Amino acid sequence: MSSPSRTAPEPSDPTVPAAPTVPIAPSVPIAPGVPAAPGVPAAPGVPAAPGVPAAPGVPAAPGVPAAPGVPADEADPETAAPETAAPDALGPGGGAAVGRTAGELAAVAQRQAAALIAPPAPVRLGDVVPAPERVEPDTTADYLLPADAVIRVSADPAALAVGEQLAALLRPATGYPLPVTDTVGATPTGGIALQLTDDADLGAEGYRLAVTTGGVRIRARTATGLFHAVQTLRQLLPPAVESGTPVAERWVLPGGSILDRPRYPHRGAMLDVSRHFFPVADVLRLIDHLARYKLNRLHLHLTDDQGWRIAVDSWPRLAVVGGATEVGGGPGGHYTRADYRRIVAYAAARHVTVIPEVDLPGHTNAALVAYPELAPDHTAPPPYTGTEVGFSYVDPANERTYDFVADVLGELATLTPGQWLHIGGDEAFKVPADVYARFVERVQRIVAGLGKTVVGWHQIAPAAHVDGRILQWWGTSGDDPVTADAVRRGARLVLSPGNHAYLDMKYAPDTPIGHDWAGLIDVPRAYDWDPGDHLAGVPAEAVLGIEAPLWTESVTTRAEVEFMLFPRLPAIAELAWSPRSRHDWADFRQRLAGHGPRWTAAGIAYHRAPEVPWPAQPPVPVPRSAPSDRSTTPSAQN
Ligand code: TNX
């Protein structure tokens, strides 16, 4: 068995030490222990000198009033940016400096330095991404998490696991012990309560969250609902909560209540691990990203022309030979069965289901390299390290092909507790349409025989319906009569419109990696479509949800994956989770902006999309997972 070709730090699994994180603004007092100059607001995160108001947009130190006219919870993140927060210009051209005393200049300099590391305004209850269904702020009910807070959870193993996850999320940055107990009473007792209830309104994934001055109470019908609520709670704390080491911060949660339920049951992302192989640690970290934004499906594109990435005991050469390279000629790699099980278990613990894909009958050059008997001419092609598509296929006329399919899908089914097996089906250009349809129908029956539900790219539409089948639509026009007809015959859809949801498309012409065949996808474009009426002739009820695929012909490292995901993945997540009534670009861009510092703290090198009013970012280097030989690396843009 080969091992992953690259190594990288583990993701932020509560059970695994976090990847190195970057301390962010609140942990960086500009003059530790030195009170601000008289009349000068204190640095963010630094208690103001007695009798001195806190900086605008910065919560006042206990007992100190907030800056006049700036309620702590209403400051606009845009006005916290250094350009506007520090209007006093110094130096050449800075007319305001003329005629000032040295003391005044020092004060201005200190204010400017503070603004440079300014955190965003305090988090408001409505700042959550994806937007909750209903938010009712109560600015009189903020809750300051005390150092001795206890997490109280219903006595249920799955709920307790969520309580432990919450504690593990909060302990590093707060430094608080946060013990978890299995007693949750009906009346608030301080701390954070996670309670299972039989409130039918909440469905399988919904939750209620209430913040009062006495504590936080979360209610859900399921551990999954509690888990989603924990992700919301995490976002309600200051961005420094993402720090891997203790930070001096006031851990205030904004008061009020939230009712939240998902719009769609299927909310996913796909990672292509074939074109470039990504080690297990990268996949686990991706699962963390999904969970953060309440996405619940991880589709792994495990096989393609350039590499076969999953060990199959009955056909061992698939992974060992077929997985030995990748686009550009690198060493590739594959997941052992143990690796794959680890990914599945890590995902399950985060309420994410893995959907494995074996792409058939096309996109199979790597399989043919390993087993030439499956090729129409029984001849092994050379390993493929380019990026063309549509040239390869396993022979539909050969019975051995169906043994191969049954063995591979059979092993994958035993490794995959989730309900779905994805059979690909895209771009088999060299297989005649009728032969292709019969092949797909046979493979669909194999999947059904394994007790799983079949998923395929929308090219499988012409094949006969099989119970439960799901088409993943990746068109770009919104008009696809063949897919609409398959829906009339019973298929349901997951939408991945290439021109809105394809995360391998460039953001802008100068994006250093990615494609543009489906157009450029900036953040507004990722956000501005409605899955409910996207495809003509398809009723809203036929749409199970949406998925954002990341193809990796040009994406080679974890940092590059994250650069393409952030900030578009949260836009897709909001379309998948939030009710349409909450869809509002102007509001979304403001809420999204507040996540930049969180990503920085978590070591995510995101694309600072110009459409989003990001708060100032401290000039710290962002760690990269692996060295890249590219001259234009994404993180260079940040
Ligand atoms: C189309 S979308 C493909 C992939 C490529 C992708 C690049 C689909 C089902 N097939 O094979 O990687 O375009 O954007």
Assess whether pLDDT exceeds 80 at residue 512.
Answer: yes
* Alpha helix stretches (DSSP H) within 450-522: 481-488, 498-501
Q: Please list the residues that pair with 495 across neighbouring strands.
A: 473, 546
Assess whether pLDDT exceeds 70 at residue 268.
Answer: yes
Q: How much is the pLDDT for 104?
A: 64
User: pLDDT band for position 227 (50/70/90)?
Assistant: very high
| Ligand 1 and 389: CB distance under 6 A | yes
Residue 43's nearest CA partner among 123, 111, 93, 106 is 111
Residue 177's nearest CA partner among 168, 186, 188, 190 is 168
Q: At what angle do helices 585-593 and 568-577 cross, to 10 degrees?
A: 130
Q: How much is the pLDDT for 439?
A: 98
Comparing 12-21, 118-127, 295-304, which segment has the lowest mean pLDDT?
12-21
Comparing 48-52, 400-404, 454-458, which segment has the lowest mean pLDDT?
48-52
| Single-letter residue type at 349 | A
What's this model's pTM, rounded to 2 decimal places? Answer: 0.81
User: pLDDT band for position 616 (50/70/90)?
Assistant: confident
In which region does residue 231 sit, left (phi positive, over 0), alpha (psi from -120 to 50) or beta (all else)? alpha
Assess whether pLDDT exceeds 80 at residue 202.
Answer: yes
Q: How much is the pLDDT for 107?
A: 60
Assess whether pLDDT exceeds 90 at residue 504.
Answer: yes
| Ligand 1 and 473: CB distance under 6 A | no
- Ligand 1 centroid to Cα of residue 460, in Å, is 15
Q: How much is the pLDDT for 52?
A: 27
Phi–psi pair at 594, nearest 5 degrees = -65, -10
- Ligand 1 centroid to Cα of residue 324, in Å, is 21
User: pLDDT band for position 618 (50/70/90)?
Assistant: low
Q: How much is the pLDDT for 303?
A: 98
| Ligand 1 and 426: CB distance under 6 A | yes
Q: At what angle do helices 399-415 and 337-349 cross, to 10 degrees?
A: 50
The rounded distance, in Å, linking the Cα atoms of 199 and 220 is 7
| Ligand 1 and 515: CB distance under 6 A | yes
Assess whether pLDDT exceeds 80 at residue 544.
Answer: yes
Retrieve residue 614's tokens.
């990001």
Residue whose Cα lies nearest atom 12 of ligand 1: it is 551
Q: What is the pLDDT of residues 288-337, one digit of tens each?
A: 999 999 999 999 999 999 999 999 999 999 999 999 999 999 999 999 99
Residue whose Cα lies nearest atom 7 of ligand 1: it is 551
- Ligand 1 centroid to Cα of residue 440, in Å, is 19
| Ligand 1 and 551: CB distance under 6 A | yes
Q: How much is the pLDDT for 32?
A: 27
The rounded distance, in Å, linking the Cα atoms of 303 and 310 is 8
Comparing 30-34, 139-143, 175-179, 285-289, which segment has the lowest mean pLDDT?
30-34
Of all residues in the chain, what percent carry a pLDDT higher than 70?
77
Q: Given the CA of residue 459, which atom of ligand 1 is nearest to it?
A: 9
Q: What is the pLDDT of residues 326-377, one digit of tens each?
A: 999 999 999 999 999 999 999 999 999 999 999 999 999 999 999 999 999 9
Q: What is the pLDDT of residues 75-89, one digit of tens each?
A: 332 323 332 222 233
User: pLDDT band for position 188 (50/70/90)?
Assistant: low
Comparing 46-50, 472-476, 533-537, which segment has the lowest mean pLDDT?
46-50
- Ligand 1 centroid to Cα of residue 583, in Å, is 28
User: pLDDT band for position 438 (50/70/90)?
Assistant: very high
Q: Could you please report the per-residue DSSP string of 550-582?
A: E--SS--SHHHHHHHHTTHHHHHHHHHHS-GGG
Q: How much is the pLDDT for 100?
A: 58
The mean per-residue pLDDT over the stretch 105-123 comes to 59
- Ligand 1 centroid to Cα of residue 637, in Å, is 26
Comparing 284-293, 323-332, 550-559, 626-635, which segment has the lowest mean pLDDT?
626-635
Averaged pLDDT of the chain: 83
Q: How much is the pLDDT for 110?
A: 56
Q: How much is the pLDDT for 109?
A: 58
Assess whether pLDDT exceeds 70 at residue 47.
Answer: no
Assess whether pLDDT exceeds 90 at residue 69.
Answer: no
If one residue of 427, 494, 552, 554 were mutated to test the ligand 1 pocket, choosing by the most ligand atoms within 8 A of its CB, it would be 427
Q: How much is the pLDDT for 313?
A: 98
The mean per-residue pLDDT over the stretch 176-202 comes to 89
The rounded distance, in Å, linking the Cα atoms of 46 and 34 is 9
The rounded distance, in Å, linking the Cα atoms of 227 and 168 is 13
Q: Round the CA-based radius of gyration of the chain to a whole number and report it.
A: 26
Q: Which residues are catalytic?
A: 427
User: pLDDT band for position 186 (50/70/90)?
Assistant: low
Better-scored residue on pLDDT, 61 or 321: 321
Of all residues in the chain, what percent carry a pLDDT higher than 90?
76
The mean per-residue pLDDT over the stretch 458-475 comes to 98
Sign, CA torsion 456/457/458/461? negative
